[in-house]
């Protein structure tokens, strides 16, 4: 028994970094929020459990697949060289097996729950793996747009499963996530500019300038807040929760203006941290509204 437990702990320590649990958790939260914005989670708790399991597996599978495909990039970057594949903690064959099992199980489960929901989940996987990672990531910094589209699919999928159709609110929520993505990726591309250059990955700071990149981050953050407010109005968010969202949006706006007028790594990293908190908090407000 002890030997079996040690083996399980060892495998978990190797596999968990492959799915980027914090990123996966945030995207899963957006999917749950999308569902709860359309359907009561208490009455439909069985569907909610299915959504949670299928979306977690599909997102994890997508992330693990990307890490297999990007293992040569990770090996050249100081920030990522200690990940399981470049560090030699798991083999490429083992990583492919993990990625494919997670992906196929998650996508298959999604289609079993609902065909439209499954199609949106599959579209997110394809945008992330095939379009963003395989096709564009090594060619253009504008690949982040397609990565952002993939990031918006979980909330759209959750909303579609709750409604049984795709509506403008679901698309707006997906757009809010898409506009949030540059805050995350572009801040990292400035902070780890030398790392990305070493790995030959095109970035906005390298193609344009750091000042331009800082301004793009600020503008996308403001737009994300505005679009999120529109989505909150669309679902009929009550005034109590809406006031909290307005306060959160005000903080985001203040940091964005600061980052745009006085661009610096410190200001942008503060905006990056707050934008992540803002997106998570906004999704939690959608969840609370739906309960």
Q: Which two tokens stand for residue 110?
A: 């999604």
Higher model confidence: residue 43 or residue 116? 116
**28-37, 55-64, 98-107, 184-193, range with the lowest pLDDT:** 184-193
Phi-psi region of 130 (alpha: psi -120 to 50; beta: other; left: phi over 0): alpha
Which pLDDT tens digit goes with each residue over 129-165?
A: 999 999 999 999 999 999 999 999 999 999 999 999 9
> Please, are residues 260 and 222 in contact by the beta-carbon 8 Å criterion?
no
30: pLDDT confidence band, cut at 50, 70 and 90?
very high
Mean pLDDT across the stretch 58-66?
97
pLDDT averaged over every residue in the chain? 90
200: pLDDT confidence band, cut at 50, 70 and 90?
very high
Tally of CB atoms within 10 A around 282: 28
273: pLDDT confidence band, cut at 50, 70 and 90?
confident
Higher model confidence: residue 82 or residue 2? 82
Share of the chain above pLDDT 90, in %: 61
Higher model confidence: residue 67 or residue 11? 67
Per-residue buried b or exposed e for 123-141, using 16+ beta carbons within 10 Å of the residue's own CB: ebbebbbebbbeebbeeeb
Q: Which two tokens stand for residue 99?
A: 């990625």
Q: Cα(185)–Cα(23) distance, rounded to whole angstroms?
A: 12
1: pLDDT confidence band, cut at 50, 70 and 90?
low
Question: Which domains, from first to last, does the chain contain?
Answer: 15-290 (1.10.600)
Q: What is the pLDDT of residue 2?
A: 67
Inter-helix orientation angle 45-69/115-126, to 10°: 20
Q: Is the predicted pLDDT of residue 264 greater than 90, yes or no? A: no
> Please, are residues 177 and 155 in contact by the beta-carbon 8 Å criterion?
yes
- Rounded to a whole number of angstroms, the distance between the first and last alpha carbons of the chain is 41
Mean pLDDT across the stretch 224-246?
90
What length is written for the chain?
Answer: 291
108: pLDDT confidence band, cut at 50, 70 and 90?
very high
3-state secondary structure the chain: CHHHHHHHHHHHHHHHHHHCHHHHHHHHHHHHHHHHCCCCCCCCHHHHHHHHHHHHHHHHHHHHHHHHHCHHHHHHCCCCCCCCCCCCCCCHHHHHHHHHHHHHHHHHHHHHHCHHHHHHHHHHHHHHHHHHHHHHCCCCCCHHHHHHHHHHHHHHHHHHHHHCCCCHHHHHHHHHHHHHHHHHHHHHHHHCHHHHHHCCCCCHHHHCCHHHHHHHHHHHHHHHHHHHHHHHHHCCCCHHHHHHHHHHHHHHHHHHHHHHHCCCHHHHHHHHHHHHHHHHHHHHHHHHHHC
Of 76, 29, 43, 96, nearest in space to 197 by CA? 76
Mean pLDDT across the stretch 227-249?
90
Mean pLDDT across the stretch 200-214?
90
List CB contacts of 28: < 8 A, sequence separation 6 or more. Answer: 52, 55, 56, 59, 154
Q: Which two tokens stand for residue 157?
A: 């999928």
Q: Cα(142)–Cα(42) distance, rounded to whole angstroms?
A: 41
Q: Is the predicted pLDDT of residue 201 greater than 80, yes or no? A: yes
Share of the chain above pLDDT 70, in %: 98
pTM (predicted TM-score)? 0.94
Q: What is the pLDDT of residue 286?
A: 84
Inter-helix orientation angle 45-69/21-36, to 10°: 150
Q: What is the pLDDT of residue 252?
A: 85
Higher model confidence: residue 239 or residue 110? 110
């Amino acid at each position: 028994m002890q030997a079996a437990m040690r083996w399980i702990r060892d495998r978990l320590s190797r596999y968990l970094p492959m799915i980027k649990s914090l990123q996966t958790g945030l995207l899963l939260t957006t999917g749950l929020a999308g569902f709860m914005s359309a359907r009561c989670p208490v009455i439909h708790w069985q569907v909610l459990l299915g959504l949670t399991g299928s979306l977690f597996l599909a997102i994890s599978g997508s992330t693990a697949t990307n890490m297999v495909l990007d293992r040569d990039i990770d090996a050249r970057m100081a920030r990522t060289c200690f990940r399981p594949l470049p560090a030699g903690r798991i083999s490429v064959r083992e990583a492919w097996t993990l990625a494919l099992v997670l992906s196929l199980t998650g996508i298959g489960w999604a289609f079993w729950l609902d065909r439209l929901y499954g199609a949106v989940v599959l579209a997110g996987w394809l945008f992330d793996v095939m379009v963003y990672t395989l096709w564009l990531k090594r060619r253009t910094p504008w690949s982040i747009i397609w990565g952002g589209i993939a990031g918006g699919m979980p909330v759209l999928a959750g909303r579609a499963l709750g409604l049984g159709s795709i509506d403008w609110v679901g698309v707006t929520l997906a757009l809010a996530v898409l506009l949030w993505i540059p805050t995350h990726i572009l801040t990292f591309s400035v902070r780890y500019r030398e790392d990305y250059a070493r790995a030959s990955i095109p970035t906005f700071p390298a193609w344009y300038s750091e000042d331009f990149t800082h301004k793009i981050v600020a503008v996308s953050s403001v737009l994300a807040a505005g679009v999120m407010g529109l989505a909150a109005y669309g679902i009929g968010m009550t005034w109590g929760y809406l006031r909290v969202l307005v306060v959160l949006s005000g903080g985001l706006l203040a940091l964005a203006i600061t980052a745009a007028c006085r661009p610096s790594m410190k200001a942008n990293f503060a905006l990056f941290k707050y934008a992540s908190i803002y997106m998570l908090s906004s999704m939690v407000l959608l969840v609370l509204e739906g309960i």
